Amino acid sequence: MNEFKVNDIKKVVVIGAGLMGAQIAELMARLGQYRVTLVDVKDELVSKGLAGIDQRIEKFFVVKGKMTPEQKKELMGRIDGTTDIAQAAAGVDFAVEAATENISAKKDLFRKLDQSAPSHAILASNTSYLSITEIASATNRPDKVVGMHFFNPVAMMKLVEVVKGAKTSENTSEVTSSLARVLQKEPVVCRDASYGFLANRAYLALRMEAVQMVWERVASPEEIDKALKLGYNLPMGPLELADMGGSWGIYASSEEDRIRELGSGKGRLHPLIRLMVRAGYTGGAGKKGIYDFFKEVLSTW
């Protein structure tokens, strides 16, 4: 049997029509020019994801003269939406899961994908920290399960982490890295023995030290971010980035996974983040984060 190659990819399925999944589907259809099916559990979630793609293409490409209305119509015609994962996976060549960061939910999705996808298909997860080896254990093709971690915003961020589980084959890793290059990204390869893989593992230490400085009232979040941006030429500070992306809520919900992987010393949630999340300061679109928590609560507490 011939080895599977990136040029063999014609049909892609993306599981999860949220912020990351919709952006990945858009990129696959736009740069890879693949036939893409976007899947979620409810019709309204699928419709919302497709509408977001349509709006981004209009705003950033058609309005700016980078794409004609006809080209946009052709692009959108390459993207379908459904709630039927079995139907979507039939005949697929490459699948990307971008659902909630919950190991049980991901294993269930990969079990379903494995049952419905052709034997040659590669099954990838966009997880930012969960074990690819454990996710792959839910399938009968662990050699074809891999991490493909995009960064937000997907269209702009060049990095894609290609994460190898214990049984991920070299062919699977190579095809996934090649796909990242087709999508005009720069892949880096690592083993999933590193919790948080590469970028998030290193960046988490920076962000948690910044959180500790806020907790100690060393300075405001604005001053800490300003120091890091100007001192290390970062485009955004770690605290404002977490506010924008809703990382505080994600940290809280993933505490059990971190403790399991890292032990209670490194895995336990910082008390400031616990307080913030309990008070509703999770960060994310339309929600308050550490900047507002410092001004409204911590500075007078």
Residue 1 predicted with pLDDT over 60: no
For residues 25 and 66, state if they share a domain. Answer: yes
As given in the structure block, the two tokens for residue 100 are 């909630």
For residues 148 and 220, state if they share a domain. Answer: no
Asked if the structure places residue 230 within a domain, the reply is yes
CA 44 to chain CA mean position, Å:
21
For residues 158 and 239, state if they share a domain. Answer: no
pLDDT category at 299 given cuts 50, 70, 90 is confident
Residue 231 predicted with pLDDT over 60: yes
pLDDT in tens, 86-95: 999 999 999 9
As given in the structure block, the two tokens for residue 96 are 């990307």
For residues 44 and 76, state if they share a domain. Answer: yes
Q: CA-to-CA distance for 95 and 125, rounded, in angstroms?
A: 8
pLDDT in tens, 8-66: 999 999 999 998 999 999 999 999 999 999 999 999 999 999 999 999 999 999 999 99
- Domain's final residue, options 143, 161, 191: 191
Question: Which comes out higher in pLDDT, residue 245 or 136?
Answer: 136
Range of the domain at 183: 6-191
- Rounded to 5 degrees, φ, ψ at 146 are -150, 155
pLDDT category at 301 given cuts 50, 70, 90 is confident
- Domain's final residue, options 191, 214, 229: 191
Percentage of residues in the chain with pLDDT exceeding 90?
Answer: 91
For residues 142 and 211, state if they share a domain. Answer: no
Asked if the structure places residue 105 within a domain, the reply is yes
Asked if the structure places residue 84 within a domain, the reply is yes
Per-residue pLDDT, 230 = 98
For residues 205 and 151, state if they share a domain. Answer: no
Per-residue pLDDT, 283 = 96
Residues labelled catalytic: 128, 149, 161, 200
Residue 160 predicted with pLDDT over 70: yes
Per-residue pLDDT, 2 = 78
Write down the mean pLDDT value for the chain.
96
For residues 63 and 170, state if they share a domain. Answer: yes
CATH number for the domain harbouring residue 267: 1.10.1040
Q: CA-to-CA distance for 294 and 221, rounded, in angstroms?
A: 8
pLDDT in tens, 118-136: 999 999 999 999 999 999 9
For residues 75 and 22, state if they share a domain. Answer: yes
Mean pLDDT computed over 81-104: 96
Asked if the structure places residue 18 within a domain, the reply is yes
**CB neighbours of 66 closer than 8 A, spacing ≥ 6?**
60
- The total number of structural domains that make up the chain: 2
Per-residue pLDDT, 33 = 94
For residues 39 and 149, state if they share a domain. Answer: yes
As given in the structure block, the two tokens for residue 39 are 């899947």
